[in-house]
Amino acid sequence: QSALTQPPSASGSPGQSATISCTGTSSDVGGYNHVSWYQQHPGKAPKLMIYEVNKRPSGVPDRFSGSKSGNTASLTVSGLQAEDEADYYCSSYTSSDSWVFGGGTKLTVL
Amino acid sequence: QVQLLQSGAEVKKPGASVKVSCKASGYTFTSYYVHWVRQAPGQGPEWVGRIKPSDGSRIHAHKLQGRVTVTRDTSTNTVYMELSSLRSEDTAIYYCARDNHVWSYDYWGQGTLVTVSS
């Protein structure tokens, strides 16, 4: 199972928005709504930010939103804040009854 | 509160085996799947395997088939991940993570660094 494709970097100024894409295939992202997004700060474990494409766990700010079109999912962070600077990974359930992650995107708040 | 507490860092020689533990607390252990995910230095996460604590049924990443085993002990609410025939490319932080019933990981352990070096 190949890793999902993410851009290596994204950026935005405080208060602006940034969008990160995650491209897979019809066997993973395109075939299921089990797409998740994780935020990871250096030296920390990942934190769930979005699940089932567009649902936010309790405690995650509504500045974080998710969507999907075909084989590509997206994470949008609105009203960027300094603490949003981190690595972001997408993940999807697959038709092989396994899970696959993206290579990660480093989000920089300028 | 939900906690997943993992065992400490390990250093192993190529060809050896390692067993990492993950003790769960703060929730009903048998009601949630537990996954193992590893992350090599500077890389994205990689799914390793999953176990259903209520009956012990498990699946593993095809890439690691034959080398990885995920088990659990319901008397201590602990999940284990054992990886054999270690290679340098197995060097990574290994995380356990709870599945939130919809194939996402809502709680993570603190991670266990496994270093494979001669």
Q: What DSSP letter does each residue of B69-114 carry, written as one string?
A: EEEEETTTTEEEEEE-S--GGG-EEEEEEEE-SSS-EEEE---EEE
**d(C-alpha B109, C-alpha B87), whole Å:** 24
Question: How many Å is the maximal CA-CA distance in chain B?
Answer: 41
B56 with B41: CB under 8 angstroms?
Answer: no
Mutation target among A98, A100, A105 for the B interface, most CBs of B within 10 A: A98
Q: Which residues of A touch B109 (CB under 8 A)?
A: 45
pLDDT averaged over chain A? 96
Partner residue opposite B44 with nearest CB, options A3, A45, A93: A3
Cα-based angle B98, B103, B105 (whole degrees, multiple of 5): 35
User: In this predicted structure, what is the pLDDT of residue B67?
Assistant: 96
CA pair distance A89, A4, nearest whole angstrom: 9
Report A:49-68 residues touching B (Cβ under 8 A).
Answer: 51-52, 57
Locate the chain A residue with the closest alpha carbon to B100: A51
Taking 80 as the threshold, does the pLDDT of residue A43 lie above it? yes
Q: What is the pLDDT of residue B29?
A: 97
Tens of pLDDT, residues A58-105: 999 999 999 999 999 999 999 999 999 999 999 999 999 999 999 999
CA distance A27 to A1: 9
CB contact under 8 A, B106 and A93: no
Sign of the CA dihedral with B21 first, then B27, B30, and B36 last: negative
Regions of chain B with pLDDT less than 50 = none
Whether B103 and A103 lie within 8 Å, measured CB to CB:
no
Report the distance separating Cα B104 and Cα A72, nearest Å.
18
- pLDDT class for A1, splitting at 50, 70, 90? low
Containing B12, the helix (H) or strand (E) segment is strand B10-12
**A48–B106 C-beta distance less than 8 A:** yes
Q: Is A27 on the interface with B (CB under 8 A)?
A: no
**pLDDT over 80 at A46, yes or no:** yes
CA-based max dimension of chain A: 40
Q: Which of A51, A93, A102 has the CB atom closest to B100's CB atom?
A: A51
Residues in a beta bridge with A50: A37
Best B5, B34, B103, B107 member to test A by mutation, with max A CBs in 10 Å, is B103
> Which residues from B are below 8 Å from A101, CB to CB?
37, 44-47
User: What pLDDT score was predicted for residue A95?
Assistant: 95
**Cβ-based contacts under 8 A for chains A and B:** 58
Alpha carbon distance, N-terminus to C-terminus of chain A: 35
Compute the distance between CA of residue A31 and CA of residue A13 in angstroms, rounded to an integer.
34
CB-CB contact of A14 with A109 (8 Å): yes
Check residue A64 and give its pLDDT. Answer: 98
- Residues across chain B: 118
